[in-house]
Amino acid sequence: MTWRIPAFSLLAVVAAGVVLADDSLTEQYRAPAEKLIQAAMADTDGYNRLAYLCYRIGNRLSGSVGLERAIAWSVEQMKEVGLSNVRVIPTKVPHWVRNSESARMLAPLDKPLHMLGLGMSIGTPPGGITADAVVVTNFDDLAKLGREKIQGKIVVYNYVFTNYGSGRNYRTSGASRAAALGAVAVLVRSATPLAMQTPHTGAMEYDEAQPKIPAAAITPEDSLMIARLTADGMPVKIHLEMGAQMLPDADSGDVIGEIPGREHPEQVVVIGGHIDSWDVGQGAQDDGASIMACLQALALIHKLGLQPRRTLRVAFWVNEENGTRGGEAYRAFVSGDLKNQVMALEMDGGAETPRGFGAGVDAKSLDMLKQIAKLLEPIGAGEISGGGGGEDISKLVSDGVVGMSERAAGTHYFDWHHSEADTLDKVNPEDFRKSVAALAVMSFAVADMPDRLTAGANGGRRGQ
């Protein structure tokens, strides 16, 4: 007997089939995702590890004793949670030391300025530098003033903060551009929207074709005060002392650990962040919370007995803040097997409330990720957008490896970024657990799903 299905019913079946196909990954990973989210939201071990890192080890600038303690401790932690192939990928890192530093306004009134030397800056001569300040709001202003008005002065960059990228430009190249016109030092308004008399440091770079002059960050309040005084015609004299110096490169390394894949152990999905931090604060949000969340994600996957098809690796990259040696060392480590690097995810935006992920993938892969992201909607982390990467994985991404990044709310990240205020209390335990959950679900699914992701539009670099 031949059955005939009415046309409208056939269309309904086909339509239903399309819906099921579009949600196939969602349904395939619903059960493990629910288990991982439940485990993550009940977990306390990850946050306790972050507390240890912040309160027992502290800040971790490249070349410091603190960083090397953190690396040794991280090896122990990866082994403790049951990861395999735990090792340190050795590399040399720059060793910049801040030493004592201060800045003071001498005229029109005598008062200390809140400052932090910029990373990689040279120090001042013994006894410091005393000079009049000249204020500019952008590089065009600097060029218009010319050598006649810049020669022998301390240039103050009182730019208008709109975003981190705009502020970073003055911090990074401001010293050399001022030095080209004869400036003796620069003070750069901190890259933060919050004025709380807290200076924010960060890396700067020298143009080798120009003289090297000292560079420091000052608070928005002090920058605005100096700008107003000079605009009113009041000469501002500043004394700057910085004991900063570069020492020979130090031995260091990236820390990695793995859950070997059950079918394709040679194929690797890596997630991580940078273990180094600036030498102020505790490096809690930048980037301690990220590396501890990534570690705890793998710890819970292993604890629940989930073994993906491909190898899942966690990496703590070194020297992100004042160099890229960790990312370069890791790229060299996988250089002979790039075809098996399935995806690299870097978390370097803090552990505020997670919103989802950015991914530099093609349209088909983006759809696959959106299916997985649906599983994260209960914790508010179900957004997927194009673009994804980071400083430490930038070389992998440029070589065609799929790049991803976790996206957090970022409401207050730049309030404490690179400052004394980057401390454990800024990391909300509930938000941290949500990040662990999001990372665990996404990384497990990408490492386990039948099809590999395909790179599309490359993501950008963010950090330092």
58: left (phi over 0), alpha (psi -120 to 50) or beta: left
Question: If we measure between CA atoms, which residue out of 71, 40, 70 comes closest to residue 52?
Answer: 70
Q: How many residues does the chain have?
A: 464
Short-list 86, 94, 92, CA closest to 316 = 86
Q: Are 404 and 343 in contact (CB under 8 A)?
A: yes
Q: Per 3-state DSSP, what percentage of the chain is helix, strand, and coil (rounded to 5)?
A: 40, 25, 35
In the 8-state DSSP scheme, what is residue 159? P
420 is catalytic: no
Instruction: State how far the Cα of 91 lies from the Cα of 424, in Å rounded to an integer.
Output: 28
- 349 closest CA partner among 437, 276, 408, 429: 408
Write the burial class of residue 76 (CB in 10 Å: 0-12 exposed, 13-18 middle, 19+ buried).
exposed
Between CA 241 and CA 124 the distance in angstroms is 6
DSSP per-residue codes, 318-359: ---TT--HHHHHHHHHTGGGGGGEEEEEE--S-SSSEEEEEE
Taking the C-alpha atoms of residue 22 and residue 443, their distance in angstroms, rounded to an integer, is 20
- The residue annotated as part of the active site, out of 101, 241, 320, 352, is 320
Amino acid at 243: G
* E strand map for 245-388: 245-259, 264-274, 310-317, 341-346, 354-359, 383-386
Tell me the catalytic residues.
320
